[in-house]
């Protein structure tokens, strides 16, 4: 795989499309076990990301990711704002000064991103948060020497679906304890869109 500036921008555009068309769905998921703002938060944030990227010029992938991070941090709010902001900031730092990102570099960037999210959210796998999608993705990447776009998507999807059976111990859904079981975690669904969008971009590039 190879990621260049135009693919990263396209990654964000596709993510935005998915989030905009699933805004109500994400909100309804968050209404069930949270406070119903996740779709609105993400739609506001990624729209701004796309606006920002289309009005700027970039030399390095890391600069694109830095703008993604800063925009999400200042526009999303809630729990997901600082978490996604941290994830993209860590990726940006890991890829600093690189024009074309190769697979090992990308792997490292995602590992850094997940570690950043875990640190910021003081959460681990199994607590019914977006980490339950990001960590399985890391495990998957670690096992591959070459990225299969389709498998990336299906790994994210399976991980997202598996959050249904988890009991939340972090985030707002934790207040519901057992009652959180049986619902998908909204942040895991939005994370799935991010990886599904990436998978589409990689497939186009291949």
Partner 1 sequence: MKKIVNDPELVVEEMLQGFVAAHPNDVKQLPNTTVIARKDAPVSNKVGLVSDGGSGHEPAHAGYVGEGMLDAAVAGEVFTSPTPDQVFEAIKAVDSGQGVFLVIKNYTGDVMNFEMAKEMAEAEGIRVQQVVVNDDVAVEDSSFTTGRRGIAGTVFVHKIAGAKAAQGGSLEEVKAVADKVVANVRSIGMALTPCTVPAAGKPSFVLEDKEMELGIGIHGEPGIERKAITTADQLATELTQKVLDDMNLSSGDEVAVMINGLGATPEMELYIVNRKVSEILSDKGFKVYETFVGNYMTSLEMAGCSVTLLKVDQELKDLLEVQSKALAFRR
Residue 82 touches which of ligand ATP, partner 1, Mg ion, none (Cβ within 5-8 Å per kind): partner 1
Tell me how far, at minimum, the Cβ of 71 lies from partner 1, in Å.
10
Least distance (Å) between residue 46 CB and partner 1: 15
Establish if 188 lies at the interface with ligand ATP (CB under 6 A).
Answer: yes
**Cα–Cα distances in angstroms (integers) from residue 105 to residues 62, 198, 204, in the given order:** 12, 15, 20
Instruction: Give which of 194, 170, 133 is closest to 34, Cα–Cα.
Output: 170
H or E segment to which residue 69 belongs: helix 61-75
Q: Distance between CA atoms of 87 and 23, rounded to whole angstroms?
A: 21
Residue 102: which H helix or E strand, with range? strand 101-102
**Under rule CB under 8 A, residue 172 binds partner 1:** yes
Residue 75, binding choice from Mg ion, ligand ATP, partner 1, none, Cβ under 5 to 8 Å by partner class: partner 1
Both structure tokens of 70: 């800063």
Handedness of CA 125, 27, 167, 196 (dihedral sign): negative
- Shortest approach of partner 1 to residue 164 CB, angstroms? 18
Question: Minimum distance between the CB of residue 32 and ligand ATP, rounded to whole angstroms?
Answer: 11
Residue 110 · residue 116 · CB < 8 Å: no
Letters for 12-51 (x = contact with ligand ATP by CB under 6 A, - = none) are: ------------------x---xx-xx--x----------
- Taking alpha carbons only, the member of 97, 17, 26, 22 closest to residue 65 is 97
Among the listed residues 8, 29, 53, 73, the single contact to partner 1 using CB under 8 A:
73
Q: What secondary structure does DSSP assign to 123-142, as a single string?
A: --TTSSSTHHHHHHHHHHHH
85 binds ligand ATP, rule: CB under 6 A: no
Task: Please report whether residue 110 would count as binding ligand ATP according to CB under 6 A.
Answer: no
Are 166 and 185 in contact by the 8 Å Cβ rule? The answer is: yes
Stretch that binds Mg ion, among 27-35, 44-52, 145-153, 196-204 (CB under 5 A): 27-35
Q: Where are the beta strands (DSSP E) in 80-183?
A: 101-102
Which positions from 3 to 32 touch partner 1 by CB under 8 A, shown as an x/- string?
A: ------------------------x---x-
Residues in the site for Mg ion, rule: CB under 5 A? 30, 34-35, 37-38
Binding residues for partner 1, rule: CB under 8 A, are 27, 31, 33-37, 40-41, 44, 73-83, 85, 120-121, 169-172, 174-177, 179
């Amino acid at each position: 795989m190879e990621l260049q500036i135009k693919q990263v921008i396209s990654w964000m555009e596709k993510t935005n499309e998915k989030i905009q068309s699933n805004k109500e769905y994400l909100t309804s998921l968050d209404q069930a076990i949270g406070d119903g703002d996740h779709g609105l938060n993400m739609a506001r944030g990624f729209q701004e990301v796309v606006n920002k990227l289309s009005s700027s010029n970039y030399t390095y992938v890391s600069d694109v990711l830095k703008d993604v991070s800063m925009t999400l941090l200042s526009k999303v709010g809630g729990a997901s704002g600082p978490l996604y902001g941290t994830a993209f900031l860590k990726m940006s730092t890991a890829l600093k000064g690189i024009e074309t990102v190769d697979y090992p570099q990308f792997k490292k960037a995602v590992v850094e991103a997940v570690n950043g999210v875990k640190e910021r959210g003081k959460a681990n796998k199994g607590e019914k948060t977006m980490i339950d999608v990001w960590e399985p993705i890391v495990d998957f990447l670690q096992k591959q020497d070459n990225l299969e776009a389709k498998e990336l998507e299906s790994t994210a999807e399976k991980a997202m679906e598996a959050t249904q059976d988890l009991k939340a111990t972090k985030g707002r859904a934790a207040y519901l304890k057992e009652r959180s079981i049986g619902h998908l975690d909204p942040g895991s669904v939005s994370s799935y869109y991010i990886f599904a969008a990436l998978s589409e971009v990689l497939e186009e590039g291949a």
